[in-house]
Amino acid sequence: MLVKNINDFFTKFIVVLFISVFGILSLFFISPTISAENNNFVKCDFKRPLKIGTQGLDVFCLNVFLYKEGFLKKSLMNYVLYDRETQKAVKRWQIQNKIFPANGIFDTSSISFYDAKYKNYFVTDEKTKLMKLPEVKDEEIQILPNGYSDAIEYVRFYLTGIDFTPDIKDDPKLFQYAWNLLEEFRRKKEIPSFSSYPYIKDFLENKNSNKEDLVQKLSLLKKIREIEIRELKKIKIASNLKDLHKKFIINAYLDIILINDFFKYLEGEISKDNFLVILNDYESYKNKLSKEVIKMVLASNKPTASKYQFFIKEAKAQSLFYRPFGGKITFIFNCDCPFSLADLVFIGPPRPAIVLVPYWFLGSPLNYLWKNITTVGVWTLGLYFRFPPPCLVGKACLPAPYQPDGLIFMSGTSLY
């Protein structure tokens, strides 16, 4: 009976495991309260000078950065407006970093300094790459007029519509391992990362020497990615979304390639030096892929009088469907109902929110800070859907004492 209950629970767990969708395109992000050199640091992509009166999600990203660094003292009232408080904070930041003239305008000299000090994106020359970016051809996917044509609806499907249950249950050992892994993350108050990179990186840096456990974990992730590719290739996509759809599939292929090459490294078929090059190639591809996906999703939902209104470039009206959040993670609450495989993440000022984060999200191309595992103390920035599913708890699936403001939709890079 106990085994049956566990099976039933995990069945639903996997179904919902990838049930939530997430939040805010921008700096969704995960950066602990530590130095700017840390990989978890919130990163912004500034494409234009910012000054008094400028509005946009890039301004929001700057405000969260200034707040985290201690230059902005107040919570955000108008989070996308470059106001006098932002100007004063920028001036203090410029003076401390000897950026002159320290006039409170975040201009090209400030952007250049920020990029040099705080951004550590790895870029590899295409000619020197050992990992080759996979290609998805038109004939591999279902391009039909009646397919998904709206990027937001496609993202909702991606985060909630894939059923991994039957395949996982067919392998009892893998099923049991997945169950134990979930329990481990819950004990640590962490949100599972469905990306192979952080686990491989920890092993190579001797932060985790349990090779047997790592092989099991990567085998589970590889199985999930294979199911994801198979299921994504089955769905119908309108021609306007085919490029976006391909990038989600490529994201899954990248993880499989990295896992396969890591297994070859363990078997001695690839040298450590060459595998480190492959790992850097993966970083470069993944960073680029996430930025492209986020840009495509936002660009496809530019504001119109009758549909979405959102802060993109010149747009100045607040979205009816999703909003930004930014600040330090202060608390994580597990929605442990078998149908709710997600966590509530409580985010503090400067732009607080309670965001529902499905476990599947962190390994998706919607999460720009894909290297990190979300936990208390990390700084995060992103966008969330305003109409989330509820957080349910217990076997009876009752409403939790806390409920989300929204469902996470994007994270990890500039909202601009």
pLDDT value at residue 127: 53
Taking alpha carbons only, the member of 121, 123, 97, 122 closest to residue 110 is 97
pTM score of the predicted model: 0.76
Residue 118: the pLDDT is 81
Contacts of 270 (CB under 8 A, 6+ apart): 261, 264, 278
Q: What SS3 class is residue 368?
A: coil
- Orientation of helix 84-96 relative to helix 108-118, angle to 10°: 60
**Distance between CA 16 and CA 36 in Å, rounded?**
35
CA pair distance 217, 268, nearest whole angstrom: 20
Structure tokens at 2: 């106990």
| Residue 80 CB partners (closer than 8 Å, separation 6+) | 55, 56, 57, 59, 60, 311, 316, 324
Contacts of 364 (CB under 8 A, 6+ apart): 158, 159, 194, 248, 251, 370
- What residues have CB less than 8 Å from 273, skipping those under 6 apart? none
240-249: b or e for each residue (b if 16 or more CB lie within 10 Å)? ebbebbbbbb
Averaged in consecutive runs of 10 residues, what is the pLDDT profile of the chain (416 residues)?
Answer: 42 37 32 36 82 91 92 84 95 95 95 85 56 91 95 85 74 80 78 84 90 92 92 95 96 96 96 93 90 84 40 41 86 82 89 89 83 78 86 91 91 58
Per-residue model confidence (pLDDT) at position 142: 97
DSSP state of 367: B
Rg (CA), the chain: 21
Residues 6+ apart with CB under 8 A from 280: 122, 124
Residues 6+ apart with CB under 8 A from 336: 186, 393, 394
CA dihedral over 291, 292, 297, 301, signed as positive or negative: positive
SS3 assignment, position 348: strand
By the 8 A CB rule, do 328 and 33 touch? yes
Q: Residue 31 has what pLDDT?
A: 33
Cis bond before residue 365 (omega within 30° of 0): no
What helix, strand, coil percent values describe the chain, rounded to 5? 45, 15, 40
Do residues 160 and 20 lie in contact, with contact meaning Cβ atoms separated by under 8 Å?
Answer: yes
Residue 209 three-state SS: coil
